Structure 1
């Protein structure tokens, strides 16, 4: 029994370090790597500071686009912010808007803020670990956007069905008038439900119902979907994007569609869906997705 307790404690400790490193680095890939190499928050923080670089979202790089039908430009050289699966949560704040705001801070300010306001360290403990830093200055620079405030299961079910039916007018109705849609590594981002609809109508490769399949996920303590798109060449659904949604009682206020399909592995999701029913809305069972085994 003691061995099992020790194993559970060790796993919880590593999960906590993963969440801490993710707040520092904005990358689940790097966070797992650092957490596996370190044994305490202090050493993990120092390792993160040695690696720290700003990981932005498109909203950090410029103004919204007024031309949803226009050409979309990518910047694959940018190290973009990544989402984190909820399985790595440690019970402390980890919302996507909070992580994006942390990424805008200088690295040592970020570390001081995370250690004091999230991990609960005292200023003297922070100074001993990373050196003296003005925590009040860090707090004054920290400006997160409104975060996730409501889980609406029925809304999410209808949103999922609207996407799978490729019903753009219905999709638009789920977004608030000032909602934001962004999709790294594309630098263009869009504000407003109408512009989001124009974007999807113009650039989404879906053409008809069934071309897209959405699998619910939880990321950053928020709802989202893994989107699979039909490949017409061989009629299979391949990994396309991960959507992370920010909801309020009024509807969806922010959607980030991550087009880095290597993130599907972090969420234990396959690269393609097999065994789908010929028609998703003819009463056939919903597709069952086999999660990948995490070593």
Structure 2
């Protein structure tokens, strides 16, 4: 770290502060996303973190690295937001048809997809990029949301980011022994939910898996329910955040897809390939009621296992496709004016 850059930032130079924190902002955004499960909330908490860092920088004495100091601020801001109920509650959509009874209700309705473009940091070495993809998979991030918040933070700081126990203890304000216990309990819970990110998320799909994804897109867009179901595992699931409905198994998924197709009255989805959370995905568009113009209709993310599709997450928020057209790091864009 340049001493003169730090000194200028501490003296109130906002450009020096922006330059000082720029190498850390995208990883801090991913950190907030893992803890909160929502890009919308991660955007807010990144801004809060940077404002708090700006205000606290004159007192930064360098007893830890700047990166550790920033992560301490971000982690505690996220934990405070969870504790105080500041996360933006999602609006549950009202479907234009009567859906069949769900197999179960999903508790993590605030989950949002994370564009792969924001994971590719040219300044990051390739092994670190692989690690980032594996630890931002949807199943892993969703499972984190079901843990007690301090367990989530301890696990992410240690197992995802590689901070030593002593740093984790300092960030969370607990003893090293307590951090070890938090991590151990979190690892056990994640394993029980089958959400450990080991080989389920890769940089891309190729060959037979790429053909599988293409066949799914064609069948899903054509409302060919039989063809979609043929591509699923027997115990596949369909989730639709922010709706709490979850359908498990081929018969229940087929019943929902048939009802959904009927409810759209002939308006068929257009799918555009992309990637989210290190997984194959599609931005979705529907014809408007007045003509052939398309309007955004959410994002679909696939969980591909071997030669079949084990899960479909159909994010219903129509604002989401726009995120996938943002420049790299779009959600963590220009810093808002700093005060204080």
Hey, what's the Cα distance between the residues in 2 that align with 1:189 and 1:94?
21
- Contact persistence 2:100–2:255 (CA under 8 A): no
Rg larger in 1 or in 2? 2
CA deviation vs aligned residue, 1:45-71 (integer Å, no higher than 9, x gap): 11111112699xxxxxxxxxxxx9626
Gapped regions of structure 1 (runs ≥ 5) = 56-67, 270-290
Q: Which residue of 2 aligns with 1:50?
A: 80
Which of 157, 161, 178 is the aligned partner of 1:119?
161
Q: Which residue of 1 aligns with 2:194?
A: 145
Q: Which residue of 1 aligns with 2:111?
A: 81
Hey, what's the Cα distance between the residues in 2 that align with 1:87 and 1:52?
27
- How do 1:91-110 and structure 2 match up within 5 A? 91=129, 92=132, 93-110=135-152
> Is 2:41 aligned against 1:30?
yes
Q: CA deviation at 1:164?
A: 2.5
CA deviation vs aligned residue, 1:168-214 (integer Å, no higher than 9, x gap): 21111111111000112322211112321221111234455x72200
- Contact persistence 1:115–1:121 (CA under 8 A): yes
Q: Which residue of 2 aligns with 1:154?
A: 211
Q: CA deviation at 1:268?
A: 2.5
Secondary structure, in 3 states, of the residue corresponding to 1:84? Answer: coil
TM score, norm. by length of structure 1: 0.75
- Contact persistence 2:109–2:241 (CA under 8 A): no
CA deviation vs aligned residue, 1:114-144 (integer Å, no higher than 9, x gap): 0011111111111111122323223223344
> Is 2:172 aligned against 1:172?
no
Query: Which segment is superposed worse, 176-185 or 210-219?
Result: 210-219
Root mean square deviation, CA, Å: 3.3
Q: Which residue of 2 aligns with 1:265?
A: 322
Hey, what's the Cα distance between the residues in 1 that align with 2:167 and 2:277?
27
CA pair 130-149 structure 1, distance change in 2 beyond 3 A: closer
Aligned length: 255
Greater RCO, CA 8 A, separation 6+: 2
Secondary structure, in 3 states, of the residue corresponding to 2:154? Answer: helix
Q: Which residue of 2 aligns with 1:196?
A: 253
> Is 2:233 aligned against 1:233?
no
Hey, what's the Cα distance between the residues in 2 that align with 1:183 and 1:108?
27
Hey, what's the Cα distance between the residues in 1 that align with 2:116 and 2:284?
18
Q: CA deviation at 1:235?
A: 3.3
CA pair 186-34 structure 1, distance change in 2 beyond 3 A: closer
- How do 1:270-285 and structure 2 match up within 5 A? none
- Contact persistence 1:24–1:52 (CA under 8 A): no
- Contact persistence 1:95–1:220 (CA under 8 A): yes
TM score, norm. by length of structure 2: 0.66
- Contact persistence 2:33–2:39 (CA under 8 A): yes
